[in-house]
Amino acid sequence: MLLHQNPGKGWGGQKQVNLQAKSSRTGRRNPAADFFLDVFGMMEPPTSSRLNSRKRRKDGSGPNGATELDGIPPKMSRRSLGLREPAPFSDEVEIDYSKPYIRVTYEEAMRGTPLDRPVRVYADGIFDLFHSGHARALMQAKNLFPNTYLIVGVCSDELTHNFKGFTVMNENERYDAVQHCRYVDEVVRNAPWTLTPEFLAEHRIDFVAHDDIPYSSAGSDDVYKHIKEAGMFAPTQRTEGISTSDIITRIVRDYDVYARRNLQRGYTAKELNVSFINEKKYHLQERVDKVKKRVKDVEEKSKEFVQKVEEKSIDLIQKWEEKSREFIGNFLEMFGPEGALKHMLKEGKGRMLQAISPKQSPSSSPTHDRSPSPSFRWPFSTKTPPSSPANRSRNESSVTYDISEDEED
């Protein structure tokens, strides 16, 4: 069913469409139907200047090399956007040649075309070592117009080796890599190096997408010159910082590293085209690197051990200082000039004096004759002769005085 646009109302006046359009042979869902299912009545057709302004920089701060000018991408609902099958080859797709081939203009393509008449955009290349730069170029080509059917041509090994040089991947590998890109609707194998009117008419191509840098090859200053003059060229932007030549340069620059890496993974020197001497050199370097790594690990572990010992020694010293201060304080408290031991000795001394020295009677009391009492004798002393009571009282007083002096000493 065709789409009709009401004048002055944008895409909001579209009638109901059949969103189950599929290819007659491959069973793939028409990507244009999915596109209009998402944007039906809510979105204006995008402009090429906005789509082609996104570049990837080496020093880009955002994800996937996005620059600050790109802004923050809007979030989308959690749903599956990918396809479940690879893109078909051109010889597997049935084309209805009964309908006349009338190429749409750029203005018509930007306004939008019916679902059964998408804008057929063609992009070609070698696609060796398929990387994000290739994917971004195809993404730009896919989003040139609201309803785009992207056809990608991949050149064969013979053409590529003659006009550009040797490839890392063979043609079948390159075909398969492009087939599994989500933006591709159809793949043309053995694509021509220079596009001819017959090829454009056979595949009913409306526009050719490529970066606008002149591509000199096959004796021409620009192989897309006649496409640009015919008004069929749709420029895209190159992704800076990534290319097949850049990847190969990295490998060649670090050849020894990757050769040693593959030797470790079980590849033979013959498979890597490595000489006997280089093989032994790589093995020796690998052993040296292992020894260096072990030494480095030991150094790191020893540093950690020394650090732990230092931390523990500092803790022990702090604890010893605290305990020593506590011990000195307790010692001074017990044996110092005003310690508890001195008070205990003074208290014991006073008690001994009170126990040894008898209490004297008051001086005003009358004198009574006292019965003789045994006199105090020091050990190892001789017996004293008996004396009168008066002498006995004087002797007792002298003895008391002597004992007190000795006690004081």
**Beta 233-236 vs 148-154: how paired, if at all?**
unpaired
**How high is the pLDDT of residue 145?**
96
Cα(11)–Cα(5) distance, integer angstroms: 6
| Exposure string over 309-325, b if 16+ CB within 10 A, otherwise e | eeeeeeeeeeeeeeeee
Which position has the higher pLDDT, 318 or 192? 192
**How high is the pLDDT of residue 5?**
38
Q: Which residue, among 45, 234, 232, has the nearest Cα to 146 in the 3D structure? A: 45
Segment 237-290, tens digit of pLDDT? 999 999 999 999 999 999 888 888 888 888 888 888 888 888 888 888 888 888
Segment 361-404, tens digit of pLDDT? 555 555 555 555 555 455 544 445 555 555 554 554 444 444 44
Query: 114, 35 in Cβ contact below 8 A?
Result: no
